[in-house]
Structure 1
Amino acid sequence: MFDIGFWELLVIGVLALLVLGPERLPGAIRSTLNTVRSIKNTAHGFKSEVEQQLRIHELHENLKKAEEQGLKNLSPELEQSVEELKRAAESVQQPYQSKKDD
């Protein structure tokens, strides 16, 4: 990500030590690491959400194609998407069916 070598890190460390002092430097490092960690977690969450939305869109497009073909003579990719959507629909309906049986 960043092209920072050993000498650049050493210069940054010495400057931070001179500016902040030995008392405040550990706290500054901790807060910087926490900020970087939270940014990474946010970016990872955003990335996984986008991937999930793209997957949902792909399944939706495959379902449209399968419906256009009348759900017959489907390619393996379309058939797999339809089966995955059926399993998802069944898993969503299961909690409601058990309440009706009670």
Structure 2
Amino acid sequence: MFDVGFWEILVIGVLALVVLGPERLPGALRSTIKAIRTVKNTANGFKNEVERQLRVHELHENLKQAEEKSLEDLSPDLKRSVEELKEAAESVTQPYKKENDV
């Protein structure tokens, strides 16, 4: 991500020690690490959400193509997408069936 070598890190560490002092340096490091983790987690969550939305869009487009072909003579990719959507629909309705059966 950043092109920071050993010597740059050493210079930053020495400057931080001089500026903050040995008493406040550990707390500053913990705060910095916590902030970096928060940013990474947020970025990973955003990336996962975008990937999920792209997958949903792809499945939606495949379903449109399958509907245009009247669900007959579909390519293997379209068949797989339709099967995934059917399984997802069944998994959504199953909890309701269990409640009604009880």
Fold shared by both chains (TM-score > 0.5): yes
The one-letter amino acid paired with 1:81 is S
Give the aligned residue type for 2:66: A
CA distance in 1: counterparts of 2:4 and 2:101, whole angstroms:
63
* Contiguous gaps of at least 5 residues in structure 2: none
2:5 equivalent in structure 1: 5
List aligned pairs for 1:40-51, cutoff 5 A. 40-51=40-51
Alignment-derived partner of residue 101 in structure 2 = 101
Give the ranges of 4+ consecutive aligned residues of structure 1 lying more than 2 Å apart after TM superposition.
none
Q: Does 1:25 align with 2:32?
A: no
Identical columns (%): 72
The two structures have a TM-score, normalised by structure 1, of 0.99
CA deviation string 1:25-84 (max 9, x = no partner): 000000000000000000000000000000000000000000000000000000000000
Q: CA deviation at 1:93?
A: 0.2
Over the aligned positions, Cα root-mean-square deviation in angstroms equals 0.4
Equivalent pairs counted in the alignment come to 102
Matches within 5 A, 1:6-85: 6-85=6-85
Give me the TM-score of the superposition, normalised by structure 2. Answer: 0.99
